[in-house]
Structure 1
Amino acid sequence: MEFATDPIDPLHLAHAVQAMADAQPSSISLWLLVDAALLDPARLASVLRRNEWSHVNALANTPLEAYGARGPQLLELPLDDEVRAEGLRRLATIDPAAPAFSWIASSHVAADLQACFGYLAQARHDGLKLHCRMGDVRVLPTLLSTLAEPQARRVAQAISQWQWFDRSGAVVGNWLAADGKDGVADARDHLELDASQFATLLDASEADGIFAQLLETVSQLVPQTDRAAFHQRLQRALAVATRLHVAGNPDRLQFVVLSLTCGDDFYQHPDLSDTWKTVAQGTSLSSLMKGWSDELWKALEGKAS
């Protein structure tokens, strides 16, 4: 499995967790959340055995517990700094580019954290049941940032602080529980997403979906390095496609391919102005491309070179 992320330096992971540990009072425990679906299961099991760290199904005692060892795993991190650092380095070397690791500070027991993860993972929208992959750090930042205040307070009942690396593998993202003295926490056992929240999560995941499709169809367009920058390029292309009213996955994928092969500003060519007017009226971009002249294609390809 390949990801639109850059590798994490295993030592950097150990240092980031240590920094959180140093900032916590003695009553706070540190936990690691691992999305096992993003890692080689045999290697993960081997490292966990070598570390001698006990772990539990992060979604146990929820309707999603059947994911078992292939779902998110919760590990309480040892207090010893050196033991913890060495174990984290081993885990990060399984696949440094996998967006599978986040770490949590909490004064609660594992069962409380599992209930919190079940709340986040059992998302619903307009009666539709969804599995929200909260252990995948491509999803986690948008998920936490889009929570309404009662939902954030529900998470804060179990978690004091939640951190992860961004796509560059260098910057630590951070969610800090707000002061819980005022306001009411969501009492449901699942996360109810309104239309705006649902749309935000869908938009945030689109570039990763396009990335996977590129790997399957035109892998030569996907760089082997600087994947975080490439993901940003995909996001920019998709934002332009939205402004031009390019709709539907096939046409949006086609727009991205054109951006990668003909230049990010290919759409500004004067001879394409009628194309975008027609697309805005609901016509498929792919069907319109069949009528592009050889001269236009030469101009676009020449612009890219």
Structure 2
Amino acid sequence: MLDKVKHLIAEVEAFKATSKEEVEQFRIKYLGSKGLIKGLFAEFKNVDAEFRKDFGKALNNLKVAANDKVSSLNETLDNTVSDASVYGDLTRPGEAIELGARHPISIVKNQIIDVFNRIGFTVSEGPEIEDDWHNFSALNLPEYHPARDMQDTFFIEKNPDTLLRTHTSSVQVRYMEENKPPIRTISPGRVFRNEDISARAHCIFHQVEGLYIDTDVSFADLKQTLLYFTKEMFGKSKIRLRPSYFPFTEPSAEVDIYWGLETETDYRITKGTGWLEIMGCGMVDPNVLTNCNIDPTQYSGYAFGMGIERIAMLLYQIPDIRMFYENDVRFLEQFKSVI
């Protein structure tokens, strides 16, 4: 009988389980109300008196070993279930982590900022919700000025003097009010115009506008700055300036770059001319300087502005401006390799 108990102890110590069900079957077999250990305790009275001490000690060891084995196996299986519930199947192969990408508008905006930073332009920012003075009046667009009709403005209903800015020129006004010349700044940001959405136009878009105010600033300075920009941004060294009209600059001009006619795409986007319009510019109107408390008899300056979406569409040959705002992952993933 003693040998049987010792054999059972060895069997208990060697037992292994891979599930809670196996552990429960083991517990019932040894520790249940009809289990082996209870049966052996019932046989205790039939053991010879000289062997009872050793038999009782071995029987207690068997019971302790069985209880310890059940507790140990349950704890191990609980930890395994917990890991699986958190991490899933730990044997499955790993998956590559998807990397994000910068939005093409952000990429182009940062490139433009970097080009102008190299020649001393700092970045200035302002509010997207503006008042009439900073968005219109200070820029030589007084009330009832016909050029206001060009802006297609979103006005705030509860306050007719408050609106969504139609250009980042309002940031330049604020900058001139708060800083004395020399001023050399660019103002990137989002602007809003109440226009119909199409492949070439949107009611929300982004601009970068530049401003340089100092003594003896000339149109030649403006031209050289723009030539530098087009060389750095597009790799193009040929530009032309066509007379135009903007209320806040005089004289004003549209800037074209010679894109070339080397491919079928070049013919399509330039309509067979080889020239592409990229921005507007001009010398700051003396009235604007006066409105911003800068003496126009002492200082002069130039300003320019371009649409970031238009530049991005040229650089990446994007045919529809709406693609920038649809958040289509297939479109955005194409820019993963672009810094």
Tell me the TM-score normalized by structure 2: 0.22
Q: Which has the higher strand share?
A: 2
Structure with max Cα Rg? 2
Normalised to the residue count of structure 1, the TM-score between the two structures is: 0.24
Q: Which has the higher contact order (CA 8 A, sep 6+)?
A: 1
